[in-house]
Amino acid sequence: MKKSIFVVLVAILLLTACGPKASSGPTEVKVMMWGAPEELAVWQSVADAFTAKNPSIKVTMDVADWDSYWDKLNTLYAANTPPDLFAMDAPLFQDWFSRGALKNLQPYIDKSTSLLDGLYPVTLQAYQTPDGYFGVPRDAQTIVLFYNKDMFDATGLAYPDDTWTLDKLREVAKQLTLKDASGNTTQWGFSADLWDMELFWSEAIWEYGGDVISADHTQTLLTEGKARDAWHFIYSMMVTDKSMPNPDESGQFGGDPFDAGVAAMTTMGHWSVPQYSTRGFKYDVAPFPSGPAGRVTSVNSAGFVIPAGAANPEQAWEFIKYVLSTDGQIQTVKLGLAVPAVKSVAESDAYLVQPDFPINQKVFTDAFAYAHMKPVFKGYDAWASAVGDPLIAVWKGEADLDTTLDQIKIAADAILAENK
Amino acid sequence: MEYGLKALGREKFWLWILLAPTLIGLLFGTAGSLLATSTLSLFKWDLIGAPAWNGIQNYIDAFTKPEFLLALKNTLVFSALYVPGTVVASLLAALLLNRKIRGVGIFRTLFFLPSITSAVAVSLIFSWLYAKDNGLLNTIITQFGGQAVNWLGTKNVMMSVVIANVWGAVGEGMVIFLAGLQAVPREYYEAATVDGGSGWARFWHITLPMISPSIFFQTLLATINAFQAFEYIYMLTRQGNGNSSVPVVVFSIYRNGWRFFSMGLASAQAMILAAFIVVLMLIYFQLEKRWVVYE
């Protein structure tokens, strides 16, 4: 780095602090969210449709990639010039709420009767506080099993279905792992990101009858009792069978070997559907395989929150109302990136029949019935790093699983104590 | 001793006008952020709420957190390999290109290109060169019957990262050494040749002492760059979810400040990094008195 990061920080602080204030004319609502450039186009059309109905409000969309998004948001907050509305990843909600950064939406919700009635209850849970809701879900993500049909067809194996268990997954993954003459793996049976809990390990722990974290968020439970059996199951696939690529190996394929066409199965959310659909292989989805203690998957939601210091909270709320209306939800379905948070839309043909993405969309909505909410608590990123970072060495076969889990428990609990 | 012309009368006015952009930049950019960082390092600040006084707790936290100690260790190991590597490699490049060969301008340009190329783009190319199964290096090695090397695996990753960084820094160092080499008076070499000095003797007794100011300057720059190195390292070692397999201090500063809502702790780590550089500079300047020859 040629210059210190802090030079940039101060420069940004100075520049944003001198920013001009909006003049007369329609009230401007500044909306920020993470996403790809294509998403900006669709959200812009949502904003245009909203402005057509509400000519006095002009919505400005600002879409940035995940990393830059949080940097930018933090900087705007530090400069005391937050946007009027921004997208929230549910697990990070407590980090913002607990610092007094967000506006209580309950008074607005009380005035907009029945607005939240049609939402999947599990998607609302994350934004609940003793004083009411400080955020509302925009869409939802349930995790399901994706499989590459071409690879199954090539070996004549039957596609995954709702009878699958984790043991069946392991067995088929072994059969679908192929090697070349010199012993190098050319195709893995299964691939999943194991850094964050969302895509595989939280589900496995729940399905083994364990838990990730205590209900009051003071105890890390993922290393204890039955949860540890789940880790040993993952270890057997990754290190013993080698039917899953380790972090080094998946890194060579951009981090997602299923996307790169070198893994036959993965557990993933709806956000990857548009990208997978451009890859030239045939794929479909099946329910998350069940475990010894039943079938559980993870559900997470992206939501909208209004900063405590927003310049135009009323207008921002109007926009939220529009996004959660049937019209708004149908428009955002077109992105193909998520399951609508509004049940009536998610269970209509607007979502279930997507000509661009002809996969079994119902698998994602059926999953709500057996999904656990991805845990939401203060200090999430630091805690997740304390868990995910040390395990990388285990997956590469360089560290002992049990010793590492014992150390993780201590480090992760220390972070929970700091964030009480 | 004073060099150059003195500004007189109206010239003084223009002198300050022309220096103003740089001085203002230094004042607000460098001095301002240094002041802000040192102040923030004594506060607990999550960027959202008001900063709260925290005394030297951030410094204590930094030195008791295994993640920062690991980052510090990585930065020190990286610097210990990178600084000599850069100085030697760029000196060699400069010696090779300080002679009358056909197309020397093209070679000099080629060597300098990495300095003006996007670090992210270069790192992506390097990740492909280093990739274990489909990378260029291993393709060549296995073609000749060798075993594929896990260049970015735990054992080799530091070396691979240092090589990429040195490669990126050779151009700048080469320019500094070329300037130093061309300032060596030709008469010295002619006299040595007359006295029967060999090529090696000429390098050892004339070139090296004569360019010692350049070596000193380049070592200084390389050290500062080593402690602040980030882009190449992060791009080659990132693991998804913002993690790195070789976390260095600048990475730790970034992650704590922007991801973990601990700007105070991040500022303390930045001050510790700065302190390391200052101490090293003081040592260098002591060594300069002993080793560096000024004409």
Per residue in A86-98, pLDDT tens?
Answer: 999 999 999 999 9
Look at the block and give the residue holding tokens 């506060």.
B43
Domain total in chain B: 1
For an interface test with A, the pick among B26, B28, B33, B132 (most A C-beta atoms closer than 10 Å) comes out as B33
Contact residues, A window 232-291, toward B, CB-based 8 Å cutoff: 247-249, 251-252, 255
Decide if pLDDT at A317 tops 80: yes
Residue B259 forms contact with A (CB below 8 Å):
yes
Q: Is residue B171 in some structural domain?
A: yes
Are A351 and A275 in contact by the 8 Å Cβ rule? The answer is: no
Stretch (H or E) spanning A190: strand A185-191
Using a CB-CB cut-off of 8 Å, the residues of chain B touching A9 are 33, 36
CATH number at residue B287: 1.10.3720.10
Q: What string of H, E and C letters represents the secondary structure of A66-104? A: HHHHHHHHHHHHHCCCCCCEEEEEHHHHHHHHCCCCECC
Contacts of B67 in chain A (CB under 8 A): 389
Single pTM value for the model: 0.83
CB contact (8 A) between residue B150 and residue A392: no
In this complex, how many residue pairs, one in chain A and one in chain B, have their CB atoms less than 8 Å apart? Answer: 108
Architecture of domain A144-299+376-418: 3-Layer(aba) Sandwich (3.40)
Is residue A324 a contact partner of residue A342, using CB atoms and an 8 Å limit?
A: yes
Which residue of chain A has the CA closest to B27?
A7
The amino acid that residue B224 corresponds to is: I
Q: Nearest by CB to B260, from A195, A381, A388: name it.
A: A381
B72 within a domain of the structure (yes/no): yes
Rounded mean pLDDT of A327-336? 87
Contacting B residues, span 262-291, partner chain A, CB-CB under 8 Å: 263, 267, 270
Do residues A1 and B229 lie in contact, with contact meaning Cβ atoms separated by under 8 Å? yes
Contact (Cβ atoms closer than 8 angstroms) between residue A142 and residue A298: yes
B152 contacts in chain A (CB < 8 Å): 248, 251
**Interchain proximity A184–B240, CB inside 8 Å:** no
Give the span between the Cα atoms of A373 and B156, in whole angstroms: 40
Compute CA A152 distance to the chain's CA centroid, rounded to the nearest angstrom. 28
Q: Is B63 part of a structural domain of the chain?
A: yes
3-state SS class at A221 = coil
At residue A93, what are phi and psi to the nearest 5 degrees? Answer: -55, -45
pLDDT at position A207 over 80: yes
pLDDT at B186: 87
What domain range includes position B91?
59-291
Nearest CB to A1; choose among B131, B230, B257? B230
Question: Is A5 in Cβ contact with B253 (below 8 Å)?
Answer: yes
pLDDT of residue A18: 46
Residue A24: its pLDDT value, please? 62
Q: Do B258 and A392 touch (CB under 8 A)?
A: no
Residue A149 and residue A367 in contact, taking contact as beta carbons nearer than 8 Å = no
Which residue in this structure is represented by tokens 């939802």?
A140
The ipTM (two decimal places) reads 0.76
Q: Which residues of chain B have pLDDT under 50?
A: 1
Q: CA-nearest residue of chain A to B253?
A: A5
pLDDT above 90 as % of chain A: 76
**Residue ranges of domains in chain A:** 10-140+301-365, 144-299+376-418
Q: What is the pLDDT of residue B240?
A: 66
What's the pLDDT at B2? 52
On whether the CB atoms of residues B42 and B55 are closer than 8 A, the answer is yes
Equal CATH topology for A10-140+301-365 and A144-299+376-418: yes
Question: So what's the pLDDT on residue A13?
Answer: 46
User: What pLDDT is recorded for position B134?
Assistant: 76
- Is residue B37 assigned to a domain? no
Q: Which stretches within B183-229 are classed as H helix?
A: 186-194, 199-202, 208-210, 212-228
Q: What phi, psi does A220 have (nearest 5°)?
A: -85, 120
CA A193, A194, A198, A200 torsion-angle sign: positive
A203-207, A376-380, B258-262 — most confident range:
A203-207
> In chain A, what residues touch B65 (CB-CB under 8 Å)?
none
The chain B residue lying nearest A394, using CA atoms, is B154
**Do the domain assignments include residue B169?**
yes
Q: Is residue B17 part of a domain?
A: no
Tokens 């005391």, located at residue: A80
Higher pLDDT, A406 or B188: A406
Is A96–B48 a contact, with Cβ atoms under 8 angstroms apart?
yes
- Position B1 scores a pLDDT of 43
What pLDDT does residue B99 have? 84
**Amino acid letter, residue B85:** G
Q: Is B174 helix (H, G, I), strand (E, B) or coil?
A: helix
Amino acid occupying residue A174: K
Question: With a CB-CB cutoff of 8 Å, which residues 80-99 of chain B face chain A?
Answer: none
Distance of CA B71 to the CA centre of its chain: 17
Average pLDDT on A89-110 reads 93
- Residue B8 C-alpha, separation from nearest chain A C-alpha, in angstroms: 35
Check CB contact of B257 with chain A, cutoff 8 Å.
Answer: yes
Q: Which residues of B touch A65 (CB under 8 A)?
A: none
Contact B255, A31 (CB under 8 A): no
Q: Does position A17 have pLDDT exceeding 50, yes or no?
A: no
C-beta of residue A62 within 8 angstroms of C-beta of residue A32: yes
Strands A85-89 and A27-34 turn out to be parallel
Of A7, A196, A398, the CB nearest to B29: A7
8 Å CB contact of A252 and B134: yes
Q: Which residues of chain A make contact with B228, given a CB cutoff of 8 A? A: 1-2, 4
pLDDT at A412 over 50: yes
- Find out whether A159 and A149 touch, Cβ atoms under 8 Å: yes
- Report whether A263 contacts A257 (CB < 8 A): yes
Backbone φ, ψ for residue B48 (5° rounding): -100, -55
Report pLDDT for A309: 86
Q: What is the largest CA-CA distance in chain A?
A: 72
Beta strands (DSSP E) in A90-184 are 128-129, 132-133, 136-142, 144-148, 178-179
For residue A22, is pLDDT > 50?
Answer: no
Q: What pLDDT, in 10s, does the model give residues A235-283?
A: 999 999 999 999 888 887 878 999 999 999 999 999 999 889 999 999 9
The interface residues of chain A toward chain B in range 63-82, judged by CB-CB distance below 8 A, are 67, 70-71, 74-75, 77-78
Find the helix or strand (DSSP H, E) in which B64 lies: helix B57-64
Closest partner CB to B270 (pick from A6, A67, A74): A6
CATH class of A10-140+301-365: alpha beta
B254 touches chain A (CB under 8 A): yes
Distance CA A208, CA A201 (A): 10
Say how far apart CA B130 and CA B122 lie, in whole Å: 12
In this predicted structure, the answer to whether residue A383 has a pLDDT above a threshold of 90 is: yes
Using alpha carbons, select from A243, A180, A172 the residue that is nearest to residue A395.
A243
Supply the angle between the helices A66-78 and A5-17 in degrees, to the nearest 10. Answer: 60
**Do residue A248 and residue B47 have CB atoms under 8 angstroms apart?**
no
For chain B positions 120-149, those within 8 Å of chain A (CB to CB) are 131-135, 142, 148
Q: How many CB atoms lie within 10 A of CB A185?
A: 17
